[in-house]
Amino acid sequence: MTLAEYRKKRGEPLIREDADGAHDDKHPSALKYVQIGLILAIITAAEVGLYYVDMNFTLLVVLLIALSVVKFSMVVLWFMHLKFDASLFSVLFTGGLALTVVVFTVAIAALGGSLT
């Protein structure tokens, strides 16, 4: 049974009048999404550019991971609309990413690996 069939069976309207503009004030315009997309493209270009710069390998890896974390957070918060939901969801996603990085680092260190 679909939601529409359930509401019809209960005699409820299929579209609630109070839900018409419920999310309009929270969500940004298309221009904001284009701006976020441009920021993500610039970060990606910086990542590609960093790869070709002659620098210490450990510093390169740390910079690339940091930029990836920034991109992940922006995609999750803006394009998955978590920025507009309860802040608990944002904390869970970004906290989960931080926990993943820590566990990965500990696992590599425990196995005797290094970034050099």
Q: What is the pLDDT of residue 7?
A: 65
Positive or negative: CA dihedral 82, 84, 85, 90: positive
Percent of the chain with pLDDT over 70: 77
What is the pTM (predicted TM-score) of this model?
Answer: 0.62
Amino acid at 17: E
Q: What's the CA gap between 34 and 79, in Å, rounded?
A: 11
What does pLDDT average to over the chain?
A: 80
The pLDDT value given to residue 17: 52
> What confidence tens digit (pLDDT) does each residue in 60-75 have?
988 998 999 889 888 8
Q: Is the pLDDT assigned to residue 43 strictly greater than 90? A: yes
Is pLDDT of 25 > 80?
A: no
More confident residue, 102 or 46: 46
Rounded to whole angstroms, how far apart are CA atoms 32 and 2? 34
Residue 67 pLDDT: 94
